[in-house]
Structure formats: structure tokens, C-alpha cells
Amino acid sequence: MKIKNLMLASTAAIACTIGATAQAAPPGYASCVSEPIAQFDGTVVDAALATPELSTLVDVVVAAGLADALNDAENITVYAPTNDAFAAIPGDILGAIAGDEALLTSVLLYHVTEGTNDPRAFIPPARRNTLLGQKVYYSYSDAAPRVNNAAVSCSGVKVSNGIVWVIDSVLIPAL
């Protein structure tokens, strides 16, 4: 099953838009952008499997039945919450999300955008549509790039079918 078939939005194509203004780069912007992007020989799922701090993400991707779809997808960006990010969600809320496959799928698709986006390169305000059909927003705070309010690692991992950025929070879509 392809990721596009899993989209809850009824649009035929995902429109990626970016809003930008002529603002100055935020503090810390230059140092973060200069961090190299690592290379990994495998897919986004392979990279997550090889990263111990993403084991909870792997578990929920498998539980939602999205592993094959993410492996087959081309040219995607995945914002990958760490184990600590999942642990920060209150147990009853995490249990409710994990116990509802449709809800879990929605939350996970909200972490994926089309194209290999580099959140370090966006001068706020900027936004992209996710595979859920809702937007994520990019900004800078405390010298770190952010997607919504989650801090993004300064170094992404380029994989065979896209790029992975580790984030410190789970992104929750409007439901």
C-alpha cells in the first residue's frame, strides 16, 4: 500500500507551499545550517531501525502498518521523534493514540512531508504540507530550527528515499 493511499485528505496531489518574508536570519542560524547532512545506505525505516533512540518510533510505525509504505515512498522528509519525545506524552494519551490505528496513522503521517526538506534552510515564516494534508510550520528558537514547536537536530540523515530529521517532541495534528 502506498503512502498516498493512506492520506486522509481528499486532494489528488499534495501542494507544498512556503511562505517567506525578507526577515533577517535568526541567531544561531548560520552555525546550524553549516552542519553536514550524514549519509545512510538504506531507507528511512532502515535508518530508524539503526538508531536506538528511535525504537519507539519504529514500534508505532510497525503497529500502524506503515513500515512498507515508508520504505516504498520516494523523496520524503521524516521528522522522527525520539524515545524521550514519546515518553513525554502522558500515558493515557499515548495509550489512546496507540490503541486507535486510524489516529496513530494520522499522527505518524503528520511527521512526513514530500520532498527532501531542510528545516535549517527556511527563514520563518515557512510551512509545508504533510502527508496527512495539514501544515507544519518552521521557525527558529534558542538557536535551533523548529518544526511546529519541536526542536530539530542540526544534522539530518540522507537516505535512499529521502531525509530524516530527529526531533525532540511528537507532533500532534489538529483532529
Strands 126-129 and 135-141: antiparallel
- Residues 52-99 have pLDDT tens digits of 999 999 999 999 999 999 999 999 999 999 999 999 999 999 999 999
pLDDT of residue 12: 22
pLDDT of residue 29: 58
Q: Determine what percent of the chain is predicted with pLDDT higher than 90.
A: 70
Of 168, 174, 140, 172, whose CA–CA distance to 80 is shortest? 168
- Residues 5-27 have pLDDT tens digits of 332 222 222 222 222 233 455 55
122 band by pLDDT with thresholds 50, 70 and 90: confident
- Output the CA angle 68-72-74, nearest 5 degrees: 145
For the chain, count helices (H), then strands (E): 8, 9
pLDDT for residue 42 is more than 90 = yes
